[in-house]
């Protein structure tokens, strides 16, 4: 079955864009909220470890302070990625984080719930 693309937006208020960018791209910072262990290899290849499960990605898009995309390298995930976009909301001018990911239709609700939990942890680490 093919995974479906979905996007969710999280309002991060007056978060520092610089601090948020670091939390989205720096391996040590990502270990604080995203994965149990994060390793950077050869500048753009990231290894994410959750409960001893190893997942390889490549950072294929990087617009500093704005957008970063990671493609999964596993054969069964070749056409999927996850992406973070930072922007300011038009009316309030507060920072928002847009997360794009892929999930099977029957797993989408669980995937969104997981992202909500991860972003809640990210907010706590950012002090918001």
Residue 74 has what pLDDT? 82
Of residues 33, 32, 38, the one with CA closest to residue 115:
33
b/e map 3-19, b = 16+ CB within 10 Å: beeeeeebebeebeeee
In the predicted model, residues of the chain with pLDDT beneath 70 are 75-76, 78
In degrees rounded to 5, what are phi and psi of residue 25?
-130, -25
The mean pLDDT value of the chain amounts to: 94
Residue 75 has what pLDDT? 64
Q: Which own/partner contact pairs does 31-39 have at CB distance under 8 Å and 24+ positions apart?
A: 32/121, 32/125, 33/118, 33/121, 33/122, 33/125, 34/118, 34/122
What are the structural domains of the chain? Answer: 4-126 (3.30.530.20)
Residue 68 has what pLDDT? 98
Class of residue 1 by CB neighbours under 10 A (exposed 0-12, middle 13-18, buried 19+): exposed
Residue 78 has what pLDDT? 67
In degrees rounded to 5, what are phi and psi of residue 35?
-140, 160
Residue 4 has what pLDDT? 93
Tell if the pTM clears 0.85, that is, is over it.
yes
Residue 2 has what pLDDT? 85
């Amino acid at each position: 079955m093919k995974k479906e693309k979905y996007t969710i937006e999280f309002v991060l208020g007056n978060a520092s864009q610089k601090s948020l960018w670091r939390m989205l791209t720096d391996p040590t910072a990502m270990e604080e909220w995203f994965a149990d262990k994060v390793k950077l290899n050869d500048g753009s290849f990231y290894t994410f470890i959750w409960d001893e499960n190893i997942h390889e990605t490549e950072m294929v898009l990087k617009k500093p302070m704005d957008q970063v995309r990671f493609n999964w390298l596993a054969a069964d995930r070749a056409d999927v990625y996850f992406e973070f976009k930072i922007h300011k909301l038009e009316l309030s001018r507060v920072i928002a984080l847009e997360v794009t990911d892929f999930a099977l239709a029957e797993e989408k609700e669980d995937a969104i719930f997981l992202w909500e939990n991860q972003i809640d942890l990210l907010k706590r680490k950012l002090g918001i």
